[in-house]
Amino acid sequence: MPDLIIATPATPTLAVRGDNRRFPVHRIYCVGRNFAEHAREMGSEIDRGSPVFFMKPADAVLPGGGDQPFPSATSDLHHEVELVVALGHDADGEVPAEQAMALVLGFALGLDLTRRDLQARAKSKGLPWDTAKGFDRSAPISEIIPVAQFGPLGAQQLTLSVNGSVRQQAPLSDMVWSVPEIIAELSRLYELRAGDLIFMGTPAGVAALQPGDSYHASIDAVLQLDGQFTSR
Ligand code: MN
């Protein structure tokens, strides 16, 4: 170990169901526009040829959700409920879609919190999305369920309620790019590693959150995530 001039920052970690070991987060990749209805509500169409990718820093995770301060610098904070894929193995270069599931340790449920006002401004000027997407606690995430316990991905309903009212709901089978296809695409762009998370994109119904709002997210009865926004 080299002598360090400051203390090593803590590695963000997530709980794994049925295991007392935690999952250390390496990178967070995110897919944009992976549900056709959501792409339309955002004023764009799906380009089947090229998924949109962006990233959040690993320490944007808020493990298990719970209370969080309402984020700074936005008056239009949007919820995006998403399936999250957790990689348990390093990729050896480019990964064909047929082999991609071998890298997956499990699945989780996350919110891709978005400063929509800053994103709209960035989009209009052709600028990067970092301040809109990659801020502190912008990624509340549930525990991870190992693949074998989750079962095959299919018709499970991804649902988000805010203050008891359903805002977003769609089956996972509505995703335009499947999990193996997204892993294959990402592996052409990045060296995928154990510890990587992939946010798979959100269905239609994104809308604003306010201080004091509470949310409940679920994938059928398999995964839950709850949280609340306190005042700044
Ligand atoms: Mn998203």
- C-alpha 82 to ligand 1 mean position (Å): 7
- Domain borders along the chain are 22-230
**For residue 189, what are the CA distances in angstroms to 48, 101, 183?**
17, 18, 10
**Ligand 1 center from residue 133 Cα (angstroms):** 9
pLDDT digits (tens, 9 = 90+) for 181-216: 999 999 999 999 999 999 999 999 999 999 999 999
pLDDT in the model for residue 39: 84
Residue 195 · residue 24 · CB < 8 Å: yes
Say what the pTM is.
0.97
Residue 11: the pLDDT is: 97
Tell me, in angstroms, the distance from the centre of ligand 1 to residue 108's CA: 14
Identify the architecture of domain 22-230 in CATH: Alpha-Beta Complex (3.90)
CA of 38 to the centre of ligand 1 (A): 10
pLDDT at 49: 75
What pLDDT, on the 0 to 100 scale, is given for residue 215? 98
pLDDT of 231: 85
Q: Cα of 9 to ligand 1 centre, how many Å?
A: 27
Ligand 1: distance of its center to the CA of 7 in Å? 33
Ligand 1 center from residue 102 Cα (angstroms): 24
- Laid out side by side, the sheet with 77-78 consists of 114-115, 77-78, 208-209
Residue 117 CB-density burial (10 A; 0-12 exposed, 13-18 middle, 19+ buried) = middle
Q: Which residue ranges of the chain lie beneath pLDDT 70? A: none
- What pLDDT, on the 0 to 100 scale, is given for residue 214? 98
pLDDT of residue 150: 94
Q: What is the CB neighbour count within 10 angstroms for residue 105?
A: 18
Centre of ligand 1 from the C-alpha of residue 187, in Å: 19
Q: How far is the CA of 226 from the centre of ligand 1 (A)?
A: 18
CA–centroid distance, residue 5 to ligand 1 (Å): 36
What residues have their beta carbon closer than 5 A to ion ligand 1?
Answer: 80, 112, 202
Going from the Cα of 154 to the center of ligand 1, the distance in angstroms, rounded, reads 19
In one-letter notation, the amino acid at residue 173 is S
10 CA → ligand 1 middle, Å? 26
pLDDT digits (tens, 9 = 90+) for 98-115: 999 999 999 999 999 999
